[in-house]
């Protein structure tokens, strides 16, 4: 007869079976049996104690984004679980595979308003890919395998397992489970050959094709496949915020970044191309601007693995459902090797205009206070453009994503869909565990850093080599920028009275340096990158700088402001 084990022990074995070796978590009453089981698995399951449950999920997200594996967070019931909701919603919007395990009161107490009881499945269902309550120990193996299968397959996303206390303590005969099929869920839909042919024909007939790459390219591990297609047909492309590292920044066909604060050329040319090829992106409003005037002149081909994205925001001509690792090569095979030299050359005047009016000023100021753009560019160069960029949300994020350069895949970790301030620091911690051989640089503002500042404790304990660049302008900069543009400079609660961040870093034993003068910047960056372990580089940034160019919300995609 098989040995009897607890549901908590079954959870450990099921996690190991799924290949988990790193967990981000925080213990509490209703998850204690699981933490007790974890005590015997410390060698195989490296548990990182965070300082707040939100941090556990963001760290799991950072881990997942850079490693391509499923991130895992484990927390207790009630407030422990509700603290994870922001991370779950963030992972849902940004298609990040994470599994969140929450403790829950015993089945007999459910619905009685027991201590630390919250309807976790009810709360997380609308914001997760799947949310399930484990009520019996015998369900553990099945539920964990199903959770990881759902999280990582198809369009990835967050899964929540609500683990009742009785299911953690019950004794069962453990039988491992392997779920790789769910009849109501088809993550690998078969390719439609006709739409592949139609797409290839449209590409072959196009004189002015333009490709938009999203994170789907990276999630599908199709970077090489997409590159091969674009090179064969000489199609210029631009990326969404989350797709920036799909193909290296210096690729000759790379025209830059899409979106509200993206590059001028790609945004203008969206409304001039005759064919738009969208790959693994979802036409977010921050990318499209006014939908009524968006790419109306062009035919649109949309590659996606999620059928609900087709025609959701933008009416498309050809939908190609499936894994882009399969669908893109199928199209590549049918497209002609061709050139679009004059069309590609058409991007250049816009790039030059943007450089002269915006980029040069942002990255090479001669006097005045430090600017975010120059700090970002210097750090990117100092890492040979090989570092992983993690950002918080706001001006820091836009400047960082614009001026960082990418040479390797899986190099951007940022909160795109729901824009979570406080995401950066814990996500960067997770990234150091997901990619231990790479340099991880996180850019934060003085607002966002304080939202998850307690994770300095995690960095201290783990000696996690996070390079934190605090772009401090003593303002909630992005909101201030909008107030100056759209609310008559009425700076309603955006000036920040800040603490001495260097002193806080010291309290957590994190090496730190503050740069006020431009002349010190290079030396400080060298010191940061040469320091073994974490480092806080605080840069005193000009207070009222603006992210440019900008497509004002709701404006046409080709109506970018280069100055305000």
Partner 1 sequence: MENKLYTFIIYSENVPGILSQITAVYTRRQVNIESLNVCASSTPGAHKYTITAYCDEPMAKMLTAQIEKRIDVLQANYFTDDEIFINETSLLKISTPIMLQNKNVCKIVRIHNAHIVEVNPIYATIEKTGITNDILELYNELNSTGCVLQFVRSGRIAITKDFTEHLDEYLAEREKQRKDI
Burial of residue 32, with CB atoms counted within 10 A of its CB: 0-12 exposed, 13-18 middle, 19 or more buried = middle
Residue 326 interacts with partner 1 (CB under 8 A): yes or no: no
Q: Write down the least CB distance from residue 139 to partner 1, Å.
A: 12
Part in contact with partner 1 (CB under 8 A); list of ranges 129-137, 383-391, 493-501, 529-537: 129-137
Nearest to 202 by CA among 53, 58, 318: 318
The overall longest dimension of the chain from CA atoms, in Å, is 78
Among 1, 42, 181, 368, binds partner 1 (CB under 8 A): 181
Q: Site for partner 1 (CB under 8 A): how many residues?
A: 21
Burial of residue 503, with CB atoms counted within 10 A of its CB: 0-12 exposed, 13-18 middle, 19 or more buried = exposed
Among 63, 130, 237, 475, binds partner 1 (CB under 8 A): 130
- Bridge partner residues of 276 (DSSP): 210, 300
Residue 183 interacts with partner 1 (CB under 8 A): yes or no: yes
Place of tokens 């899964």: 159
Part in contact with partner 1 (CB under 8 A); list of ranges 120-128, 348-356, 402-410, 412-420: 120-128
Part in contact with partner 1 (CB under 8 A); list of ranges 44-52, 184-192, 295-303, 418-426: 184-192
Question: What residue spans of 387-475 are helical by DSSP H?
Answer: 395-403, 424-434, 446-451, 456-462
Q: Write down the least CB distance from residue 179 to partner 1, Å.
A: 11
Closer residue to partner 1 in complex, CB, 160/335: 160
Place of tokens 């199209």: 331
d(C-alpha 444, C-alpha 244), whole Å: 19
Among 65, 129, 208, 261, binds partner 1 (CB under 8 A): 129
Closer residue to partner 1 in complex, CB, 186/543: 186
Cα 137 to the center of its chain, rounded Å: 34
Binding mask 494-533 for partner 1 (x = CB under 8 A): ----------------------------------------
- Bridge partner residues of 470 (DSSP): 444, 538
First to last CA, the chain: 76
- Bridge partner residues of 469 (DSSP): 443, 537
Residue 559 interacts with partner 1 (CB under 8 A): yes or no: no
Rg (CA), the chain: 24
Q: Write down the least CB distance from residue 184 to partner 1, Å.
A: 5
d(C-alpha 182, C-alpha 425), whole Å: 36
Closer residue to partner 1 in complex, CB, 69/129: 129
Q: Write down the least CB distance from residue 149 to partner 1, Å.
A: 10
Q: Tell me which residues in 186-205 interact with partner 1 (CB under 8 A).
A: 186
Residue 368 interacts with partner 1 (CB under 8 A): yes or no: no
Part in contact with partner 1 (CB under 8 A); list of ranges 22-30, 125-133, 350-358, 548-556: 125-133
Residue 369 interacts with partner 1 (CB under 8 A): yes or no: no
Angle formed at CA 493 by CA 561 and CA 471, multiple of 5 degrees: 60
Q: Tell me which residues in 248-307 interact with partner 1 (CB under 8 A).
A: 306-307
- Give me the DSSP letters along 367-418: SSSB-HHHHHHHHHHHTTT-SEEEE-SSHHHHHHHHH----SSS-EE---SS
- What token pair was written down for 24? 């981000």
Binding site for partner 1 (CB under 8 A): 121-122, 125-126, 129-131, 150, 180-186, 306-308, 310-312
């Amino acid at each position: 007869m098989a040995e009897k084990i607890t549901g908590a022990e079954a959870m450990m074995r099921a996690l190991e079976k799924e290949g988990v070796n790193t967990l981000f978590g925080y213990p509490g009453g209703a998850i204690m049996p699981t933490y007790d089981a974890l005590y015997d698995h410390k060698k195989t399951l490296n548990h990182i104690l965070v300082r707040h449950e939100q941090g556990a999920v963001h760290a799991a997200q950072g881990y997942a984004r850079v490693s391509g594996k499923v991130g895992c967070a484990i927390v207790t019931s009630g407030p422990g679980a509700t603290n994870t909701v922001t991370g779950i919603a963030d992972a849902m919007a940004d298609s990040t595979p994470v599994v969140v395990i929450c403790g829950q009161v015993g089945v007999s107490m459910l619905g009685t308003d027991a201590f630390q009881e919250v309807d976790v499945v009810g709360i997380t269902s609308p914001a997760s890919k799947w949310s399930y309550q484990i009520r019996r120990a015998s369900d553990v193996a099945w539920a964990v395998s199903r959770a990881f299968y759902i999280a990582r397959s198809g369009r990835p996303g967050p899964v929540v397992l609500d683990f009742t206390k009785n299911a953690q303590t019950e004794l069962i005969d453990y039988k491992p489970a392997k779920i790789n099929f769910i009849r109501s869920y088809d993550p690998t839909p078969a390719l439609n050959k006709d739409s592949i042919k139609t797409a290839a024909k449209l590409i072959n007939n196009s004189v002015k094709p333009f490709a938009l790459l999203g994170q789907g390219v990276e999630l599908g591990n199709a970077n090489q496949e997409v590159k091969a297609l674009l090179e064969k047909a000489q199609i210029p492309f631009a990326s969404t915020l989350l797709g920036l590292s799909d193909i290296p920044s210096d690729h000759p066909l790379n025209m830059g970044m899409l979106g509200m604060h993206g590059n001028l050329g790609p945004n203008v040319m969206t409304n001039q191309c005759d064919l738009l090829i969208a790959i693994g992106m979802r036409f977010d409003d921050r990318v499209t601007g006014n939908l009524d005037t968006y790419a109306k002149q062009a035919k649109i081909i949309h590659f996606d693995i999620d059928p609900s994205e087709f025609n959701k925001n933008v009416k498309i001509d050809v939908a190609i459902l499936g894994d882009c690792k399969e669908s893109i090569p199928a199209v590549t095979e049918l497209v002609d090797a061709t050139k679009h030299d004059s069309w590609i050359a058409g991007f250049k005047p816009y790039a030059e205009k943007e450089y002269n009016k915006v980029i040069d000023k942002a990255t090479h100021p001669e006097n005045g206070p430090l600017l975010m753009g120059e700090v970002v560019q210097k750090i990117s160069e100092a890492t040979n453009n090989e570092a992983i960029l993690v950002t918080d949300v706001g001006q820091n994020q836009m400047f960082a994503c614009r001026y960082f350069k990418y040479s390797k895949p899986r190099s951007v970790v940022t909160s795109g869909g729901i824009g979570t301030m406080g995401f950066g620091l814990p996500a960067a911690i997770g990234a150091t565990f997901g990619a231990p051989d790479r340099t991880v640089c996180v850019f934060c503002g003085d607002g966002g850093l304080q939202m998850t500042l307690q994770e300095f404790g995690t960095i201290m304990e783990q000696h996690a080599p996070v390079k934190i660049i605090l772009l401090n302008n003593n303002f909630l900069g992005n909101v201030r920028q909008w107030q100056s543009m759209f609310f008559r400079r009425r700076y309603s609660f955006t000036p920040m009275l800040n603490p001495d961040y260097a002193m806080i870093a010291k309290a957590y034993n994190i090496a730190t340096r503050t740069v006020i003068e431009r002349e010190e910047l290079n030396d400080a960056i060298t010191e940061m990158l040469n320091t073994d372990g974490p480092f806080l580089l605080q840069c005193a940034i000009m207070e009222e700088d603006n992210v440019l160019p900008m497509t004002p919300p709701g404006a046409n995609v080709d109506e970018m402001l280069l100055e305000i």
